Amino acid sequence: MSEEICVLVCGLDETASAVASQLFADGRSVVLHQSRPPETLRRKMAFTDAWFDGAATLGGIEARRADVNAEFYLGLGTRAFIPILTHPFPDVSRRWPWDVIIGSRSGDEPMEAHLKNLASLTIGLGAGFTAGSDCDVVVDIDGPDFGAIFRKGRVPTPRPRQATTATTDTLDVTAPAAGLFYPFREIGSFIEAGDPIGIIAETVVSAPDRGRIRGLIRKGRAVIVGTKIAEIAKSNTARVAGIGDQNRLVARGAAFAVEMEIAGCQTIEIGAWRMP
Protein backbone atom coordinates (compact mmCIF):
# COMPACT_ATOMS: atom_id res chain seq x y z
CA MET A 1 0.00 0.00 0.00
CA SER A 2 1.41 3.40 -0.98
CA GLU A 3 1.02 6.64 0.96
CA GLU A 4 -1.52 7.84 -1.64
CA ILE A 5 -4.45 6.03 -0.06
CA CYS A 6 -8.16 6.66 0.17
CA VAL A 7 -9.95 5.93 3.45
CA LEU A 8 -13.66 5.38 4.04
CA VAL A 9 -14.77 6.05 7.63
CA CYS A 10 -18.28 4.83 8.40
CA GLY A 11 -20.44 6.94 10.71
CA LEU A 12 -20.76 10.55 11.84
CA ASP A 13 -20.66 10.04 15.60
CA GLU A 14 -17.89 11.35 17.88
CA THR A 15 -15.52 8.45 17.34
CA ALA A 16 -15.87 8.26 13.57
CA SER A 17 -15.52 12.04 13.31
CA ALA A 18 -12.35 12.00 15.42
CA VAL A 19 -10.82 9.22 13.32
CA ALA A 20 -11.65 11.00 10.07
CA SER A 21 -10.24 14.27 11.39
CA GLN A 22 -6.97 12.64 12.45
CA LEU A 23 -6.46 10.88 9.12
CA PHE A 24 -7.36 14.05 7.21
CA ALA A 25 -4.85 16.03 9.27
CA ASP A 26 -2.26 13.34 8.47
CA GLY A 27 -2.71 14.10 4.78
CA ARG A 28 -4.91 11.14 3.82
CA SER A 29 -7.81 11.30 1.37
CA VAL A 30 -10.77 10.68 3.67
CA VAL A 31 -14.46 10.13 2.98
CA LEU A 32 -17.22 9.72 5.58
CA HIS A 33 -20.33 7.60 5.13
CA GLN A 34 -23.74 7.76 6.80
CA SER A 35 -26.78 6.40 5.00
CA ARG A 36 -29.48 7.38 7.48
CA PRO A 37 -30.09 10.39 9.77
CA PRO A 38 -27.61 10.20 12.66
CA GLU A 39 -28.85 10.31 16.24
CA THR A 40 -25.70 11.62 17.91
CA LEU A 41 -26.49 14.05 20.73
CA ARG A 42 -23.01 15.52 21.21
CA ARG A 43 -23.30 17.28 17.90
CA LYS A 44 -20.58 19.87 18.57
CA MET A 45 -18.12 17.01 19.05
CA ALA A 46 -18.86 15.39 15.69
CA PHE A 47 -19.69 16.07 12.05
CA THR A 48 -23.29 14.97 12.70
CA ASP A 49 -25.00 18.22 11.68
CA ALA A 50 -23.45 18.06 8.21
CA TRP A 51 -25.90 15.29 7.33
CA PHE A 52 -28.79 17.74 7.85
CA ASP A 53 -27.25 21.15 7.13
CA GLY A 54 -24.92 20.17 4.31
CA ALA A 55 -21.70 21.07 6.13
CA ALA A 56 -20.17 21.10 9.61
CA THR A 57 -16.78 21.97 11.07
CA LEU A 58 -14.87 20.12 13.79
CA GLY A 59 -11.48 21.30 15.00
CA GLY A 60 -11.03 23.52 11.95
CA ILE A 61 -11.81 20.70 9.49
CA GLU A 62 -14.94 20.87 7.38
CA ALA A 63 -17.09 17.94 6.24
CA ARG A 64 -19.71 18.34 3.48
CA ARG A 65 -22.43 16.15 2.06
CA ALA A 66 -21.46 14.99 -1.41
CA ASP A 67 -24.82 14.28 -2.97
CA VAL A 68 -23.45 14.64 -6.50
CA ASN A 69 -20.31 13.14 -8.00
CA ALA A 70 -18.78 16.56 -8.65
CA GLU A 71 -18.79 17.38 -4.93
CA PHE A 72 -17.27 14.01 -4.08
CA TYR A 73 -14.43 14.44 -6.59
CA LEU A 74 -13.90 18.04 -5.51
CA GLY A 75 -13.38 16.97 -1.89
CA LEU A 76 -10.98 14.19 -2.82
CA GLY A 77 -9.10 16.26 -5.36
CA THR A 78 -8.62 19.46 -3.37
CA ARG A 79 -8.76 18.12 0.20
CA ALA A 80 -10.55 21.35 1.10
CA PHE A 81 -13.14 19.30 3.00
CA ILE A 82 -14.13 15.73 3.83
CA PRO A 83 -16.91 14.45 1.56
CA ILE A 84 -19.87 12.66 3.18
CA LEU A 85 -21.61 9.94 1.18
CA THR A 86 -25.18 8.94 2.06
CA HIS A 87 -25.75 6.04 -0.33
CA PRO A 88 -26.30 2.50 1.03
CA PHE A 89 -23.09 0.97 2.38
CA PRO A 90 -22.92 -1.89 -0.18
CA ASP A 91 -22.97 0.67 -2.99
CA VAL A 92 -20.34 2.86 -1.39
CA SER A 93 -18.02 0.05 -0.31
CA ARG A 94 -17.98 -1.79 -3.61
CA ARG A 95 -18.16 0.96 -6.22
CA TRP A 96 -14.95 2.75 -5.28
CA PRO A 97 -11.44 1.28 -4.82
CA TRP A 98 -11.02 2.05 -1.12
CA ASP A 99 -7.61 1.29 0.35
CA VAL A 100 -8.89 1.39 3.93
CA ILE A 101 -12.39 0.97 5.38
CA ILE A 102 -13.00 1.81 9.05
CA GLY A 103 -16.29 0.93 10.72
CA SER A 104 -17.99 0.59 14.09
CA ARG A 105 -20.99 -1.37 15.27
CA SER A 106 -21.73 1.02 18.14
CA GLY A 107 -22.65 4.15 16.17
CA ASP A 108 -25.73 5.22 14.23
CA GLU A 109 -24.64 3.60 10.97
CA PRO A 110 -25.57 -0.08 10.49
CA MET A 111 -22.49 -2.09 9.60
CA GLU A 112 -22.11 -5.24 7.56
CA ALA A 113 -21.13 -8.43 9.39
CA HIS A 114 -17.81 -8.62 7.54
CA LEU A 115 -15.54 -5.80 6.46
CA LYS A 116 -12.59 -8.02 5.67
CA ASN A 117 -11.64 -8.17 1.99
CA LEU A 118 -13.65 -5.03 1.15
CA ALA A 119 -10.37 -3.07 1.12
CA SER A 120 -6.63 -3.64 1.48
CA LEU A 121 -6.98 -2.82 5.18
CA THR A 122 -10.17 -3.01 7.22
CA ILE A 123 -10.37 -1.66 10.76
CA GLY A 124 -13.15 -2.37 13.25
CA LEU A 125 -13.68 0.12 16.06
CA GLY A 126 -14.54 -1.47 19.40
CA ALA A 127 -16.57 -4.49 20.40
CA GLY A 128 -18.43 -6.51 17.83
CA PHE A 129 -15.44 -7.11 15.58
CA THR A 130 -12.97 -9.99 15.57
CA ALA A 131 -9.55 -9.14 14.17
CA GLY A 132 -8.42 -11.65 11.59
CA SER A 133 -11.97 -12.85 11.00
CA ASP A 134 -14.38 -10.08 9.98
CA CYS A 135 -11.74 -7.34 9.77
CA ASP A 136 -7.95 -7.07 9.73
CA VAL A 137 -7.46 -4.91 12.81
CA VAL A 138 -9.56 -3.93 15.83
CA VAL A 139 -9.00 -0.67 17.73
CA ASP A 140 -10.25 -0.43 21.32
CA ILE A 141 -12.78 2.38 21.85
CA ASP A 142 -14.31 1.37 25.19
CA GLY A 143 -11.31 0.46 27.37
CA PRO A 144 -9.33 -0.82 29.09
CA ASP A 145 -6.84 0.79 26.69
CA PHE A 146 -8.37 3.39 24.39
CA GLY A 147 -6.67 3.24 21.00
CA ALA A 148 -5.01 -0.15 21.61
CA ILE A 149 -4.62 -2.19 18.41
CA PHE A 150 -5.35 -5.90 18.05
CA ARG A 151 -4.59 -8.12 15.06
CA LYS A 152 -6.16 -11.24 16.54
CA GLY A 153 -9.41 -11.77 18.42
CA ARG A 154 -11.66 -9.28 20.14
CA VAL A 155 -11.05 -6.33 22.42
CA PRO A 156 -10.83 -7.45 26.07
CA THR A 157 -13.72 -6.65 28.40
CA PRO A 158 -12.99 -3.38 30.25
CA ARG A 159 -11.82 -3.67 33.83
CA PRO A 160 -14.41 -2.16 36.20
CA ARG A 161 -12.10 0.61 37.39
CA GLN A 162 -11.44 1.74 33.84
CA ALA A 163 -14.96 1.44 32.48
CA THR A 164 -16.44 4.54 30.92
CA THR A 165 -17.56 7.22 33.38
CA ALA A 166 -20.46 8.34 31.21
CA THR A 167 -22.94 6.99 33.75
CA THR A 168 -21.39 8.91 36.65
CA ASP A 169 -20.46 12.31 35.25
CA THR A 170 -23.49 12.85 33.01
CA LEU A 171 -27.26 12.69 33.26
CA ASP A 172 -29.43 11.38 30.44
CA VAL A 173 -32.71 13.15 29.76
CA THR A 174 -35.37 11.04 28.03
CA ALA A 175 -38.59 12.01 26.30
CA PRO A 176 -41.63 11.94 28.64
CA ALA A 177 -44.00 12.05 25.65
CA ALA A 178 -44.12 11.30 21.93
CA GLY A 179 -43.99 13.98 19.26
CA LEU A 180 -41.64 16.54 17.77
CA PHE A 181 -38.96 17.97 20.05
CA TYR A 182 -38.25 21.70 20.07
CA PRO A 183 -35.38 22.89 22.31
CA PHE A 184 -35.35 25.98 24.50
CA ARG A 185 -31.61 25.75 25.10
CA GLU A 186 -28.46 25.06 23.10
CA ILE A 187 -25.50 22.74 23.58
CA GLY A 188 -23.13 24.41 26.03
CA SER A 189 -25.89 26.15 28.01
CA PHE A 190 -25.69 26.11 31.82
CA ILE A 191 -28.89 25.02 33.53
CA GLU A 192 -30.32 24.51 37.00
CA ALA A 193 -32.53 21.69 38.21
CA GLY A 194 -36.06 22.19 36.93
CA ASP A 195 -35.10 24.55 34.12
CA PRO A 196 -36.98 23.82 30.88
CA ILE A 197 -34.84 22.20 28.18
CA GLY A 198 -37.47 22.00 25.47
CA ILE A 199 -40.99 20.91 24.64
CA ILE A 200 -42.62 17.87 23.02
CA ALA A 201 -46.16 18.59 21.87
CA GLU A 202 -47.51 20.31 25.02
CA THR A 203 -45.15 18.57 27.45
CA VAL A 204 -42.25 20.63 28.80
CA VAL A 205 -39.00 18.71 29.35
CA SER A 206 -37.18 19.89 32.48
CA ALA A 207 -33.59 19.39 33.62
CA PRO A 208 -33.31 16.75 36.38
CA ASP A 209 -30.28 18.51 37.92
CA ARG A 210 -27.92 21.43 37.43
CA GLY A 211 -25.06 21.23 34.97
CA ARG A 212 -24.15 21.99 31.39
CA ILE A 213 -25.86 20.66 28.27
CA ARG A 214 -23.35 18.46 26.47
CA GLY A 215 -25.70 16.79 24.02
CA LEU A 216 -29.07 17.72 22.56
CA ILE A 217 -31.26 16.21 19.86
CA ARG A 218 -31.88 18.38 16.81
CA LYS A 219 -34.86 20.70 16.54
CA GLY A 220 -37.96 19.11 15.06
CA ARG A 221 -36.86 15.48 15.45
CA ALA A 222 -39.63 12.97 16.12
CA VAL A 223 -39.26 11.04 19.39
CA ILE A 224 -41.15 8.40 21.32
CA VAL A 225 -41.42 7.98 25.07
CA GLY A 226 -38.02 7.04 26.45
CA THR A 227 -35.95 8.42 23.57
CA LYS A 228 -32.75 10.00 24.83
CA ILE A 229 -33.03 13.67 23.91
CA ALA A 230 -30.36 15.41 25.98
CA GLU A 231 -27.23 14.81 28.01
CA ILE A 232 -26.26 17.02 30.93
CA ALA A 233 -22.69 17.12 32.23
CA LYS A 234 -22.56 17.59 36.00
CA SER A 235 -19.33 19.60 35.75
CA ASN A 236 -19.55 23.11 34.40
CA THR A 237 -16.08 22.65 32.90
CA ALA A 238 -16.98 19.50 30.92
CA ARG A 239 -16.00 19.49 27.26
CA VAL A 240 -19.01 20.16 25.02
CA ALA A 241 -17.26 20.87 21.70
CA GLY A 242 -14.26 19.56 19.82
CA ILE A 243 -12.63 16.13 20.01
CA GLY A 244 -12.54 14.50 23.45
CA ASP A 245 -9.43 12.90 24.93
CA GLN A 246 -10.76 9.34 24.64
CA ASN A 247 -11.70 9.71 20.97
CA ARG A 248 -8.39 11.39 20.24
CA LEU A 249 -6.57 8.29 21.52
CA VAL A 250 -8.80 6.06 19.40
CA ALA A 251 -8.13 8.23 16.36
CA ARG A 252 -4.39 8.02 16.90
CA GLY A 253 -4.63 4.24 17.23
CA ALA A 254 -6.50 3.95 13.93
CA ALA A 255 -4.05 6.32 12.23
CA PHE A 256 -1.13 4.30 13.58
CA ALA A 257 -2.61 1.09 12.18
CA VAL A 258 -2.83 2.75 8.77
CA GLU A 259 0.75 4.02 9.02
CA MET A 260 2.04 0.54 9.85
CA GLU A 261 0.18 -0.95 6.91
CA ILE A 262 1.70 1.64 4.58
CA ALA A 263 5.16 0.90 5.97
CA GLY A 264 4.60 -2.81 5.52
CA CYS A 265 5.12 -3.50 9.20
CA GLN A 266 3.15 -5.81 11.44
CA THR A 267 1.01 -3.71 13.74
CA ILE A 268 1.99 -3.99 17.38
CA GLU A 269 -0.71 -5.34 19.65
CA ILE A 270 -0.52 -2.54 22.18
CA GLY A 271 -3.02 -4.26 24.44
CA ALA A 272 -0.56 -7.07 25.07
CA TRP A 273 1.64 -4.65 27.00
CA ARG A 274 -0.94 -3.70 29.62
CA MET A 275 0.24 -3.68 33.20
CA PRO A 276 -1.33 -6.44 35.35
For residues 68-87, give the mean pLDDT.
94
Residue-wise pLDDT for 91-129, tens only, equals: 998 888 999 999 987 666 666 668 888 999 999 998 888
Half-sphere exposure of 134 (CA within 13 A, CB side): 16
* Model pLDDT for residues 226-268, shown as the tens digit of each residue: 999 999 999 888 999 999 999 999 999 999 999 988 777 554 4
Number of helices (H), then strands (E), belonging to the chain: the values are: 6, 17
Does residue 276 have a pLDDT over 80?
no
Check the CA dihedral 177-178-179-180 and report its sign.
positive
Strand, coil or helix: 273: helix
DSSP letters spanning 61-125: EEEEE--SHHHHHHHHHH-SSEEEE-S-HHHHHHSS--SEEEEESSSSS---S--TTSSSEEEEE
Q: How much is the pLDDT for 144? A: 73
Integer Cα distance of 269 and 159 in angstroms: 18
pLDDT of 210 above 50: yes
Beta bridge partners of 256: none
pTM of the model: 0.87
Closest CA to 169 of 226, 232, 246, 240: 232
Strand partners, 231: 172, 215
User: For the chain, which residues make up each domain, given as ranges?
Assistant: 6-159+244-273, 166-233
pLDDT at 64 over 90: yes
- Give the span between the Cα atoms of 129 and 3, in whole angstroms: 26
CATH of domain 6-159+244-273: 3.40.50
Q: Which fold has domain 166-233?
A: OB fold (Dihydrolipoamide Acetyltransferase, E2P) (2.40.50)
**Which of 273, 257, 248 is CA-nearest to residue 19?**
248
Question: Which run of H or of E encompasses 214?
Answer: strand 211-216
35 against 154, higher pLDDT: 35
* pLDDT tens-digit map of 37-55: 999 999 999 999 999 999 9
Residue-level pLDDT at 214: 96
- Per-residue model confidence as pLDDT tens digits over 147-198: 888 888 887 766 554 444 444 688 999 999 999 999 999 999 999 999 999 9
Higher pLDDT, 15 or 167: 15
Q: Is residue 1 over pLDDT 50?
A: yes
Nearest Cα to Cα of residue 37 among 107, 101, 96: 107
